[in-house]
Structure 1
Amino acid sequence: MEKTDIHIIGLGNLGSAFLEGLMTSNKEHSIKVYELDTSVLEVYEKKYPENDYFNSFDEFKSGVLILCVKPQSINEIFVQIKDKIHEGVLICSPVAGLDIDHIEKSISNKIIRIMPNLLIRNNKGFIPYSKNYENDYLDFIQSTLNHLGRTKEFSEQYFPVITALSGSGPAWFFLLSNELINAGNKLGLSNQESEILVNEIIKGLPELISDDVTYPDLISKVKSPKGTTEAGLNSLKNDSFDTIILNAIEKATQRSIELSKELKSE
């Protein structure tokens, strides 16, 4: 079976996560990486010498082109590559704010828009997607995305909030975890002791989570009437924890909408 070319442009946080995740795949891919920063490129050339690495753009003749580029740079990148992309190449965009119709103004290829997060590095991601074509072109969803994590198709209109919840999602949990560690420190524990307690909780939580159990159900299994957990939960409620979370998601969603408008105005 002929291997599918996977072209990854950019080795920032998301591009490197894609590369790391794909390197544990079934090897049905021929991976080609494009990164203008030669010092970054050299790191991955040494780590994964079986791939092809480039610090400039050549013809993209077949396979899938994954655009792991910051929103502020994507229009400039398109100017450089749009005439080098052959008709049969599938465009995969995880760029925040980059709508499919904006890409279609530059090229007429099949396009799949995705919003993964860094968990794809360990093949534990959730990958929402929307596309402008039918079926599974190049078997990309089944053979590639499903290896990196669970996938689900969404209407593209929901991508701003999907970006806020899922794309940015790990940061919300990392922040909460860091604040739990800080609280432990302020109440007498060493930083190392607090980190052990919080990290072990995080490691064990996936065992409790399933599609059949709700988060209120899980909370009820931890708290007891007039107990320590209930006291803390009541404090969060009194401090409008729900409003704090809603405001953060709304701000992130709005920023995604703004990015889309900024890209279209350039």
Structure 2
Amino acid sequence: MADRVDLLIVGGGKMGEALLGGLLAAGRNAQSICVSEPIPARRDELADRYGVAVTDEIAASAGAILATKPDVIPTVVSAVTAAGTDRILSIAAGVTLATLGGAARSGTPIVRAMPNTPALVSEGAAAICANEHACDADLDWASEILGSVGKVARVSEHLMDAVTGLSGSGPAYVFVVAEAMIEAGVLMGLSRPVATELAIQTLLGSATLLAEGRSPADLRADVTSPGGTTAAGLRELERHGVRAAFAAAIEAATHRSAELGAA
């Protein structure tokens, strides 16, 4: 593909598609986006579904989103900068700015992001950091892209492993909580379909209340009458160390992210 495009998405997998769909839903012109995807069937699927140009080549672009597997990122960075890409947003887990910059054309602005899977339903949480060549306009550009599928925070790179431990891995923790609530409901005599519906709606409604801005502690207090059922349940959660378990999980995931980034 010889023509220069406004935005190139390298990788048409789930996260690449999530960003593509979010950008189009936010009003981005489909003609301004090109997707680079090596699998022919996937190229056809994305082109038919979204009406964007999809190719197996690397086009010159004003900006490129790298949504590929981490092990091929250096090769992809070299290819997009050689093609004439002005700036890069990488969502590859664990790939540092130093690694990205080492493979890029000298002076290329690079933004590194850690999104999470709720981006697939436009409810993602992402954090970004940037190299020394990136300016506020580059961070705004990355924030606008990721903001099309959720919320975005700006952090220093040394905190990206903690972001991975908290929000990157966090959806899995919530899914475990959902599983545990469902199984407990079944144990107490509810049918599995009813327990599933009640648990999922409880999590969704609770998250919606949190999103309105009140603190978790205040919301918890609203539900907890002295000597009541919720107080009894919370006492058991505390007795079994639920807070310590979550802290240990986030710490372990943070340390593992650092190990993978150093490998």
Interval containing the TM-score (normalised by the shorter chain) = 0.7 to 0.9
- The 8 Å contact of residues 18 and 149 in structure 2, kept in 1 or not, is answered as no
Give the Cα–Cα distance (whole angstroms) in 2 for the partners of residues 85 and 171 of structure 1: 38
Matched-pair identity in %: 30
- The match for 1:120 is 119
Offset at 1:77? 3.8
Distance 2:226 2:196 in 1: 28
SS of corresponding position for 1:53: strand
How do 1:81-230 residues align onto structure 2 when only pairs under 5 Å count?
81=79, 84-86=82-84, 88-107=85-104, 108=106, 109-132=108-131, 133-137=134-138, 140-141=141-142, 143-210=144-211, 212-230=213-231
Deviation of 1:76 after TM superposition, in Å, equals 4.7
Matched positions, count? 255
Residues 90, 110 of structure 1: 8 Å contact kept? yes
Query: How far apart in 2 are the matches of 1:95 and 1:144?
Result: 15
Q: CA deviation at 1:165?
A: 0.9
Moved more, 121-130 or 215-224: 121-130
What is the CA-CA distance between 1:73 and the residue it aligns to? 3.4
> TM-score of the superposition, structure 2-length normalised?
0.87
The 1:37–1:68 alpha-carbon spacing in structure 2 relative to 1, beyond 3 Å, is: same
Separation in 1, partners of 2:205, 2:127: 25
What is the CA-CA distance between 1:74 and the residue it aligns to? 2.5
Distance 2:212 2:159 in 1: 21
Cα displacement string for residues 219-244 of structure 1 (whole angstroms, at most 9, x for unaligned residues): 11111222211111111111111222
Task: Tell me the secondary structure at the aligned position of residue 89 of structure 2.
Answer: strand
> Offset of 1:134 from its aligned partner?
1.6
Q: Is 2:65 the counterpart of 1:57?
A: no
1:32·1:53 contact (CA, 8 Å) conserved in 2? Answer: yes
**How far has the Cα of 1:141 moved from its partner?**
3.8
Give the AA of the match of 1:35. E
Higher relative contact order (CA 8 A, sep 6+): 1
In structure 2, relative to structure 1, the CA distance for the partners of 1:198 and 1:5 (3 Å cut) is: same
**Alignment-derived partner of residue 67 in structure 1:** 66
The gaps in structure 1 that reach 5 residues or longer are: none
**Structure 2: distance between partners of 1:24 and 1:98:** 28
1:138 is displaced (CA, Å) by 9.0
TM-score relative to the length of structure 1? 0.86
Alpha-carbon deviation of 1:71?
Answer: 2.1
CA positional deviation for 1:37: 2.5
Aligned residues: CA RMSD? 2.4
**Aligned residues of 2:7 and 2:34 also touching (Cα < 8 A):** yes
Q: Secondary structure of 2:210's match?
A: coil
